[in-house]
C-alpha cells in the first residue's frame, strides 16, 4: 500500500499579530533613564516614551516635560539603548562596526482612525479612542493597569518602522531604498539572503542578519 504525503512550504514569517497597548506609553510608569549628552556628560532622570511620535518625556517637580533631543546622544532604560532621530527616540536593535539597525515604535494613527484599505477612505471604528494626556500621570508618574479591566476594543494599535544607518545616512529598511545603494553584482549577493523564504523585510531577526552583509 502506497502512502502519499502533501508537502506544503513552511514559512518562517507567518501572519504577524497586531501589536497593541492599553496606554500610549512605552512603560506604565516613569522609570530611571540615563541620558548621555553629545559631549559625553550624563544625567539621571525619571523618564518615559510617549508613543505618539516616540517622544522622550521626563519628570521635573512631578511635571512631565518633553525633552529636546538636539544635544542628546543616547538614552538608556536599563540595558535598552535609544538614540534620537529628529524629535523621536529610536531603539538601537543591533550594531555592526559603524552600522546600525534601529526601530521607531509609534501609535499607528491610520489604524486608530479606523481606516479601511486606503481606497474607500475612513470609517468610524476609531472614534472615541482619544489619546491619554500627559497629566493623567500621578505625581509619582504611575498608571495602574489591571489586565481584567482593560477594554480591548480601545487598545492603541502600534507600528514598528525599521531603519539602517549606513555611512551616517538613515535608510528605511525596505528593499528598494537599500538595494539602490549597491551595484548589480552586490545586489545579487544580497538577494541570496533576502529572497530566502525564511527571510522577511518585516522581521527584526531577518534585518539583523542583513545588517552584517551591508
121-138: buried (b, 16+ CB within 10 Å) or exposed (e) per residue?
A: eeeeebeebeebebeebe
Q: pTM for this structure?
A: 0.80
Interatomic CA distance for residues 196 and 11, integer angstroms:
10
- Strands 99-107 and 156-166, how do they pair? antiparallel
DSSP string over 73-84 = EEEEETTEEEEE
At 17 the pLDDT is 66
**Exposure on the CB side of residue 32, measured as CA atoms within 13 A:** 6
Q: Is 178 exposed, middle or buried (0-12, 13-18, 19+ CB in 10 A)?
A: buried
Alpha-carbon dihedral 103, 109, 114, 115, rounded to 10 degrees: -80
More reliable by pLDDT, 12 or 53: 53
Interatomic CA distance for residues 104 and 99, integer angstroms:
17
In this structure, the number of other CB atoms found within 10 A of the CB of residue 105 comes to 19
- Strands 63-66 and 55-60, how do they pair? antiparallel
| Interval 89-146: pLDDT, tens | 999 999 999 999 999 999 998 887 764 444 444 444 444 344 555 544 444 455 555 5
| Interval 172-193: pLDDT, tens | 999 999 999 999 999 999 999 9
Interatomic CA distance for residues 212 and 101, integer angstroms:
10
At 153 the pLDDT is 56
Distance linking the first and last C-alpha atoms of the chain: 52
90-95: which pairs have CB atoms within 8 A and are 24 or more residues apart? 90/54, 90/163, 93/162, 93/204, 93/207, 93/208, 94/208, 94/211
Amino acid at each position: 500500500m502506497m502512502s502519499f504525503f502533501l508537502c506544503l512550504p513552511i514559512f518562517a514569517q507567518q501572519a504577524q499579530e497586531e501589536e497593541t497597548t492599553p496606554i500610549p506609553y512605552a512603560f506604565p510608569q516613569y522609570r530611571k533613564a540615563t541620558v548621555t549628552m553629545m559631549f559625553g556628560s550624563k544625567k539621571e532622570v525619571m523618564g518615559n516614551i510617549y508613543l505618539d511620535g516616540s517622544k522622550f518625556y521626563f519628570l521635573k517637580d512631578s511635571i512631565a516635560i518633553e525633552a529636546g533631543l538636539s544635544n542628546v546622544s543616547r538614552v538608556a532604560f536599563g540595558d535598552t539603548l535609544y538614540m534620537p532621530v529628529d524629535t523621536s527616540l529610536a531603539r538601537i536593535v543591533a550594531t555592526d562596526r559603524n552600522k546600525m539597525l534601529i526601530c521607531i515604535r509609534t501609535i499607528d494613527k491610520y489604524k486608530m482612525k479606523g481606516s479601511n484599505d486606503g481606497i474607500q477612505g475612513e470609517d468610524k471604528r476609531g472614534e472615541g479612542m482619544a489619546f491619554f494626556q500627559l497629566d493623567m500621570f500621578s505625581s509619582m508618574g504611575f498608571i495602574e493597569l489591571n489586565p481584567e479591566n482593560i477594554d480591548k476594543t480601545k487598545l492603541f494599535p502600534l507600528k514598528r518602522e525599521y531603519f539602517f544607518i549606513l555611512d551616517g545616512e538613515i535608510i528605511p529598511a525596505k528593499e528598494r531604498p537599500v538595494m539602490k545603494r549597491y551595484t548589480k553584482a552586490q545586489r545579487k549577493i544580497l538577494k541570496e539572503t533576502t529572497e530566502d523564504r525564511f527571510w522577511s523585510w518585516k522581521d527584526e531577526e531577518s534585518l539583523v542578519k542583513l545588517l552584517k552583509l551591508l
